[in-house]
A and B are shown apart, each in its own frame.
Chain A
C-alpha cells in the first residue's frame, strides 16, 4: 500500500546520463543524480570527474534537434588487457613518424554531435593522449598517444563512456579505398574546372554567331577551348580510355567503349578543326561529358563506401582475444599470438577461438554456425572442439591443436576465397546494350559519311563526326550508376547492406533460392516449441528452471517468465538430465523422460514430440506427470510470409541444411517447401556442389548464416547473409541483412526488379534522345549549340528518373 503510494506520486524519473526512465527499483531517494543502469552511472562518473558535464548541455540540444537517440550506456566492462600485448600494439597501434602511436577503433553507439564532442575530449581524460578524432559516418575514431600510455586504458575509458571500442582491421584496404576516392575527387575537380571554363568560352563563341566577333578573338577562344578540352580528355578522361581498352582486350561489351569512341572522335576532329580553322569544335560537349560521367561514377562509389563501412564495423565486432592459461594465471592475449599446445579458457557464452581438445570441464556446445546442427552437443574432457562453436553452459579449458588458417573454419574460408575468385563476372545490362549501340552508331556514321560524300558535300566528315559525338551514351553512362546509388542508399537505411552495384542486376531474373535452416529459417535459439499440458503451470516451472544454466532450462525459464513470485527451495540439478526442487511447497521434477521416470515410476508418452524431431522434456508435480514439452529451434515469425512473396515472384524455394534430415524435413514441411528441393545432413562442400550444379541452368540465390554456408554463399549468383551470422558468411555474401527476419530477402528481390526497371526506363529515354539528335546530326542540321543544349537536358532526365524511382519505398509501407 505504501509502496504503491510512493510510485504513483513520483513522476517518471529520467536517467541523468541517457534520459531514459529509471526503473522503480533503482530510484535513489533524495539523490540529485538518478541512473537507469550501472553503465550510465559509470559513464556519468567518468564525465563528471573529468569536468566534462557540458556534454549534457550539448546532448539536450541534440535531443531537441532530434539527432540524438535515447540509449543507455552499454558498457562491457572488459579489461582490454590484450591490447597491451606487444604483437597487438605493433599491429594496431604502430609508432608514427612523429614518435606517437596511432590506433583506429570502431565505436559502438556513437551517433550524434555530443558523442563527437565527448570522444574528442579523450586527451582531457587520459594524460599522454594528444589527439582523438571521430569520423561519425564511419564510427571510426583515430587516437594518437605517447608511447608508454597503456592502450588498454584508452580502450577502457572509451568503454566506460558507453562506446565499446573494436580495433579496426585491414587499414591497408581502407587506405587503398581512401586513395582511390581522393583520386576520383581530383579527377572530378579537374574535369569540372575544364568544363566551366570551356563553357564560358563556348558561350562567347555562340554569342558571336549572332553578334559580330573579330576573327582573332574567335581564333583565341577556339585555341583555348581546345587546350582545356584536350586537358580534360587526357587527364580525368583517361579512365574511359583505359576501361575501353580493357574491354576490347577481354572482348567483353562495356559502356566505356562507345564513350571512349565519342571522346576520341570529338577530340581529334576538334583538334584538326582548330588547327586548320575549319568546321566546328565540340569541346564544350566533350568536357561536360567527362565531368557528368565522372560524377555519376563517384556518387555510386561514395554510396558503396557507406555500405562497406557498415560491413567493416560489423567485422570488427568479432572477438580477437582469447584467455590463455599459464600455470594458474589466466591472461587475455590476441588470438594471433596463440601457439599449438597452449591452453585457453573458454567461458560460458563465448565462442571457441581455436580448434582443440578439452582438457578440463564439461559443457554443451552450439555447433550450429559450423555444421548447421541445431541440437546442442555435450562435450567433455578429450572431446575435440572447433573454432567458431559457442560454449553454452560452463567454463572449459582447451588445448590448442590448430589456430587461424589451420582450423576447420580457416580451411572453409580458403574455399570461400576460391569460390569468390572463380565467380563469373556478369555483363551489366547497360554494357550489353553498349555493344549493339556501338555497332549502330558506327554504321550510321559510315552511312552518313558515304551519303554526303556521294553528294559531293565537303562537310561530309564533319557530319559523321557529329553523329559520333552526339550519339555518345552520356545518359546511358549515368543511368546505371544513378539508379544503383539510389537503391543501395535506401537499402542501407533499411538495414540491408549491399556489396557491389551489380548485385541488384544479378537478382533481377527469378531462379532458385536455397535457404539454410538453422539460424536462417529458424531463429537459431533453442526455444519451447510445443507444450502439452496446462499452460498456467509454466511460470511455476520457469521459477525452478531459472536456477539452472542448461540451455533447455533457460529456454523453459524464458518461456514462462512472469511477474509472479515463487518460493523455490531444495533445488538439485542432476547430471542425468534434470532438475528437482520445491516450488511454493510443491515437489517439481523437470527433465528428460528417463530422468523423470526414475522419480515417478511412470514413462510419459513423448512419441508425438519425438515425431516432431524435438527434444522432449517431462514435467512432474507432486509425483504426477503434468505436462510434456518439446524444445527446438522455432521458425522465424516472418519466414512464411517472406517465402510466399518470393514464390509470387517466380522463385523456386529449396533448403540446404547441415542438420539432421528429419528435422529439416519437418521445418520444410511446415513452410510448404517441395520435399524434392529439401536437402538435410549436408557438409559445407556438398552445399557448394548443389549450388554449383543448379547454377548451370539458372540463377541461384543462397541465404545462410553460418560458416558452413559460406562457400555456397560465395559461389552462388547472389549470396545473402542473415543477421546474427558468422563472420565468414558476412565475408562471403553479396548482401547482408542487418535486421532480424527474412522479409529483407523479398524486399531486396523487389528492389532489384524496380532498380532494373528504372535503368531500362532511363535507357529508353536516352535512346529516344539519341534517335532525335543523331537524325539531326546525320542531316547536317546539328550545331554545337544544339548539342550543348541537348546534353544537359538528357542528363537531368536521367537524374529525375533515378531519384523518383520508388525502389524500396513500397516495401516499407507494407
Chain B
C-alpha cells in the first residue's frame, strides 16, 4: 500500500493543475460570455 504515498500526492498535483487552469481561464475572460461562442462556432467553417 506504499503506492498510496505516490498516487495521492500525484492526484493532488493533477487537481491543483486543473484548478490553476480554471483560474487562469476565468481571469482571461473565457467564462464572461457563455452564450455567444457556441453560436460563433457554427459559422467558423467559412474559408
Shortest CB–CB separation between residue B24 and chain A, in angstroms? 10
Q: Which residues of A lie under 8 Å from residue B22 when comparing CB positions?
A: 186, 189, 193
Shortest CB–CB separation between residue B22 and chain A, in angstroms? 5
Q: Which residues of A lie under 8 Å from residue B10 when comparing CB positions?
A: none
Mostly helix, strand, loop or mixed at chain B's interface? helix
A61→B43 CA distance, assembly (Å): 11
| A190–B19 CB distance below 8 A | yes
Contact flags B6-43 to A (C-beta < 8 A → 1, else 0):
00100110011011001100110101111110011011
Q: Which residues of A lie under 8 Å from residue B4 when comparing CB positions?
A: 217, 220
| B40–A120 CB distance below 8 A | yes
* A407 sits at the interface (CB 8 A): no
Q: Which residues of A lie under 8 Å from residue B32 when comparing CB positions?
A: 135, 178, 181-182
A19→B44 CA distance, assembly (Å): 24
Q: Which residue of B5, B27, B33, B42 is within 8 Å of A182 (Cβ)?
A: B27
Q: Which residue of A61, A137, A189, A214 is within 8 Å of B36 (Cβ)?
A: A137
| B43–A197 CB distance below 8 A | no
A214→B5 CA distance, assembly (Å): 13
A380→B12 CA distance, assembly (Å): 79
With both beta carbons as reference points, the residue of chain B lying nearest to A193 in the complex is identified as B19
Q: Which residues of B lie under 8 Å from residue A217 when comparing CB positions?
A: 1, 4
* A54 sits at the interface (CB 8 A): yes
| A136–B39 CB distance below 8 A | yes
* A224 sits at the interface (CB 8 A): yes
Q: Which residues of B lie under 8 Å from residue A134 when comparing CB positions?
A: 36
| B15–A197 CB distance below 8 A | yes
With both beta carbons as reference points, the residue of chain B lying nearest to A112 in the complex is identified as B39
Contact flag A117-B33 (CB < 8 Å), given A190-B19, A224-B8: no
Shortest CB–CB separation between residue A113 and chain B, in angstroms? 4
A-B interface pairs (CB < 8 A), number: 67
| A189–B23 CB distance below 8 A | yes
* A325 sits at the interface (CB 8 A): no
| A113–B19 CB distance below 8 A | no
Mostly helix, strand, loop or mixed at chain A's interface? helix
Q: Which residues of A lie under 8 Å from residue B26 when comparing CB positions?
A: 182, 185-186, 189
Q: Which residues of A lie under 8 Å from residue B35 when comparing CB positions?
A: 135-137
| B43–A136 CB distance below 8 A | no
Q: Which residues of A lie under 8 Å from residue B39 when comparing CB positions?
A: 112-113, 116, 136
Q: Which residues of B lie under 8 Å from residue A189 when comparing CB positions?
A: 19, 22-23, 26
Contact flag A58-B19 (CB < 8 Å), given A136-B35, A182-B27, A186-B26: no
| B12–A224 CB distance below 8 A | yes
Q: Which residues of B lie under 8 Å from residue A138 when comparing CB positions?
A: 33
Q: Which residues of A lie under 8 Å from residue B27 when comparing CB positions?
A: 182, 186
A181→B30 CA distance, assembly (Å): 12
With both beta carbons as reference points, the residue of chain A lying nearest to B39 in the complex is identified as A113
* A495 sits at the interface (CB 8 A): no
Shortest CB–CB separation between residue A131 and chain B, in angstroms? 13
* A196 sits at the interface (CB 8 A): yes
Question: Among the interface residues A117, A178, A220, which one has the most CB atoms of the partner chain B within 10 A?
Answer: A117
Shortest CB–CB separation between residue B10 and chain A, in angstroms? 12
Q: Which of A171-216 contact B (CB under 8 A)?
A: 178, 181-182, 185-186, 189-190, 193, 196-197, 214
A120→B33 CA distance, assembly (Å): 15
Q: Which of A100-114 contact B (CB under 8 A)?
A: 112-113
A186→B23 CA distance, assembly (Å): 6
Q: Which residues of B lie under 8 Å from residue A61 when comparing CB positions?
A: 42
A120→B34 CA distance, assembly (Å): 17
With both beta carbons as reference points, the residue of chain B lying nearest to A58 in the complex is identified as B43
Which 8 A-B residue pairs are closest in the complex by CB-CB distance? A113-B39, A137-B35, A117-B43, A136-B36, A135-B33, A193-B19, A189-B22, A185-B26
- Contacts from A to B (Cβ < 8 Å): 54, 58, 61, 112-113, 116-117, 120, 134-138, 178, 181-182, 185-186, 189-190, 193, 196-197, 214, 217, 220, 224
